[in-house]
Chain A
């Protein structure tokens, strides 16, 4: 099957006071039709920058996407498209929702207006039709009393409702890909459950592909079909979701799974990862996780490429070739 979206060797840098930050440093992954890819990592790993780069939402002059980077969609490289063509893709074919719904919604426009404006920007229809479609969308995302909500302003809605509106706007043009950047992180646990359930439901109903960006392994386990784990600007492991959790190949994935407090596996002591994420202006030489890795050895000073452990499951780690060294 041909991938719907193909990111190859994405490099995004930012000029900062401390030097050049290589936020995304050779990121590659594929997204297949109707699948949900979880992009997992902690802060500073480059996952949000990757998402923004896909839609070329990186602000120059400080931010720059490398010329060799490729984001292939529908046979075209999105990074090379003229702005007018890209605008047709953004919102209509590839839509994005963000972490803080309150900040992403225009506070002075009513909810209904924001949806209809998006529709009218990308589709030819009368305003009346657009309004009707907007009400349908609000119902689709589970907003009670949709017709009345059309005239509400964002500040009148709770966080959960705002996120639903964001999703409605994102879905309004029936995109083939939805990029969701930490869509539930800012929400309470019970509301998070609602939104995750909604996303799962919509996934099935609309046959949409989704890139779900999160730091929460529980969220990924519940929604994703495949997972890509990011660390220090690179994808360090990629696998179908069950395999990732059952048999993680990269020590970082393993460490992340052990460090999280879990309801199903209470522990006396959490296995913390020593040290801290290095700054993007100074990635370590060789394997970037090597300074914090429980298994590291001399070979790790050579940066490992992606090595395939089992079909569809690859990791950037020499342990894939030398599994005997996998002893704590």
Chain B
């Protein structure tokens, strides 16, 4: 695992959306992200895991300033991203890029894929006129695409190929940092593996830093050095990948891990099955956000009254639980 100072960082990030409301009702404020602080060290892959509505995608977009945070700080390589004037922001955009989940939606359906990859090169004037095409072809080869595909339209490519185009496009500006927002969730298993391998190779070769956002714990484990688990806009647990998967400390992490179906019929283990659905962000639970569904035997009134802060219970292990010292055991096989 590589160490380094934080390349991308958010502090006390809050993002509110205002919904509903009408003539007589005030608009309600939904806190999609509620005071999250995370740092991605140079050279590492930080996995950000959560289910739908957890706020993970919003965090990724706030870091790139594709969404404006309501409050909090966003720093990239020490610079305050939120305070940058448009010209500086545009220059900074070269260093951080994003790959989206939907390989079809993230490409302009009326633009040939080669042109889509060439555009950022032209916009940032990274190559003299003549050699942009050569650069595009090199990028295609690097992501495992046949360079003759440059004249194709997105609908002529498979999901995996489109995702490779999206990756090539992100790499065209030579970024240091990539936000990968569920990059393989929409792909078949066999294609997933190809793209994950590609992402691992690219990271090594280009010395990239990744923020890997996903809901699939098995996929995240493959690439991540550290993992942060998020629920309803708040971090529940942050730890190194090995530690998290071996011994999760937060009841939500434990439930999440036990819920993943394992392809082994002999391991039909007793699962922790959470009851009920995730509460709506409009009416978040009091105290600990997870308490209504928490299976921890020591759950108490304290959990309902007091939201546990994210604290470092052991070096490098952060947990937001009052009873983290006495974690829920992972159900045996």
Contact = CB atoms under 8 A, between A and B. Distances in A.
Interface of A: 42-43, 144, 158, 160-161, 188-194, 196-197, 215-222, 241-242, 245, 255-257, 259-264, 266-267, 269-274, 276-277
Interface string B257-280: 111111111111001011111100
A190 B272 CA distance: 9
A194 B200 contact: no
Interface in B199-239: 200, 215-219, 221-222
B58 interface: no
B262 A215 contact: no
Q: Identify the 7 closest CB pairs spanning chains A and B, nearest first.
A: A218-B261, A272-B193, A193-B259, A217-B263, A188-B51, A270-B193, A42-B188
B262 A270 contact: no
Interface residues of B, number: 44
Contacts of A43: 188
A222 B61 CA distance: 36
B197 interface: yes
Contacts of B158: 276-277
A189 B220 CA distance: 14
B160 to A, nearest CB: 7
A194 B274 contact: yes
A153 B235 CA distance: 33
Interface in B240-288: 245, 255-268, 271, 273-278
Contact of A221 (B188, B190, B261, B275): B261
Contacts of B37: none
A241 B264 CA distance: 9
Contact of A218 (B193, B215, B219, B263): B263
Contact of B259 (A192, A257, A264, A276): A192
Given A188-B278, A261-B219, A215 B189 contact: yes
B52 A188 contact: yes
B259 A263 contact: no
Interface string B181-193: 0000000111111
A274 B256 CA distance: 31
B273 to A, nearest CB: 5
A289 to B, nearest CB: 11
Given A160-B277, A188-B215, A263-B245, A241 B259 contact: no
B255 A190 contact: yes
A276 B158 CA distance: 8
B197 A272 contact: yes
Candidate in A196, A242, A260, A271 with the most chain B CB atoms within 10 angstroms: A260
A217 B274 CA distance: 22
B196 interface: yes
Nearest to A158: B277
A196 B261 contact: yes
Given A189-B260, A255-B190, A262-B263, 15 more contacts: A158-B278, A161-B277, A193-B259, A196-B261, A219-B261, A221-B261, A221-B264, A221-B265, A259-B189, A259-B192, A260-B193, A262-B262, A263-B217, A270-B197, A277-B188
